[in-house]
Structure 1
Amino acid sequence: MDASKINWILAIACLLAGTGLGALGYHLLNSSAASLQKLRQRLAERDRELAALREGMDDHLGEVSRLVAALQRDGEALASRLAQDALSLGGKAAPRTGLETTASKKVPTEESGEELATPRDYADGTGGTLSEDFGLKDDEDAKAPQPPRY
């Protein structure tokens, strides 16, 4: 064979090998892109499912809230009816227990002039457990040097 034919055959073989390697690289890189596209699609589906669940939960909680309000109204109406029946029969009015709403409870405010009570986990002033000198002793014996312990 001629040297020029070998050069042409080598050039064509290199071109085919480069094309094959390029196609293989493209396939490998494109497969990761395809899996990335599948992941994005699954993520979008999960987001839609989550949005539907949230909407369903909002509807459910709204309905439960309405039912609780209706139960409270019915309970208060029943308690007042029982109290009226007890009074009409000549008995004493039954004390109200547990059915009072927060609107009926008296809460001190700044405008009413009543002072709010200090919370129980708070130091009352000088001798509370949260004061800086709580538990410290002022004895002179404690300030005297102690012999070392072994």
Structure 2
Amino acid sequence: MDASKINWMLAIACLLAGIGLGALGYHLLNASAASLQKLRQRLAERDRELTALREGMDDHLGDVSRLVATLQRDSEALASRLSQDAQRLRAQGTPPAALAVIESEAPAEGNGDELAMPRDYADGTGGTLSEDFGLKDDEDAKAPQPPRY
């Protein structure tokens, strides 16, 4: 064989190898681009879902705040109505026991009394929260035990 034919054969083999490597590289790069596109699409869907949830939460919180405001107005109206009824009954000469019931139902406004905080410990009266609840005073436990050998 001639040296020029070997050069041509080598050139054709290198060309085929280059085409093969190029096709493989394109395939690998295209596969990662497709997965990247799917990932971007999933991210956009999650972003839309998050936006919808935020809008729903805003609407819900707005409804709750309106309901709380309505409840406060109604409770203030009820308190003023009860105090007016108590004053009217006091003017008519109603017995003090009936007035005490009416005034106890009306919420106290600005009286400065603070409610006692609930306690998470026993007050020592022997209830279920006492420290010795469920412990038995056995006579056997106090009796001396024989020595063990």
Matches within 5 A, 1:44-55: 44-55=47-58
TM-score with structure 2 length normalisation? 0.67
Partner of 1:124: 123
TM-score with structure 1 length normalisation? 0.67
Corresponding letter in the other structure for 1:137: D
CA shift digits 1:100-123 (9 cap, x unpaired): 247448337xxxxxxx7984x523
Pairwise CA RMSD: 3.5
Greater helix fraction, Structure 1 or Structure 2: 2
Q: Distance in 2 between matches of 1:8 and 1:89?
A: 120
Q: Distance in 2 between matches of 1:117 and 1:81?
A: 32
Larger relative contact order, structure 1 or 2 (CA cutoff 8 Å, min sep 6): 2
Closer/same/farther in 2, CA of residues 125 and 77 from structure 1, 3 Å limit: closer
**Identity of matched residues, %:** 17
- Comparing 72-81 with 40-49, which one deviates more in the overlay? 40-49
5+ residue gaps in structure 2?
none
Q: Distance in 2 between matches of 1:117 and 1:50?
A: 38
How many positions carry a matched residue from both structures? 136
Query: Of residues 78, 88, 93 in structure 2, which corresponds to 1:75?
Result: 78
Would the aligned equivalents of 1:76 and 1:99 in 2 still touch at CA under 8 Å?
yes
Q: Distance in 1 between matches of 2:41 and 2:27?
A: 21
Q: Distance in 2 between matches of 1:57 and 1:38?
A: 29
Q: Distance in 1 between matches of 2:83 and 2:13?
A: 104
Q: Distance in 2 between matches of 1:124 and 1:59?
A: 44
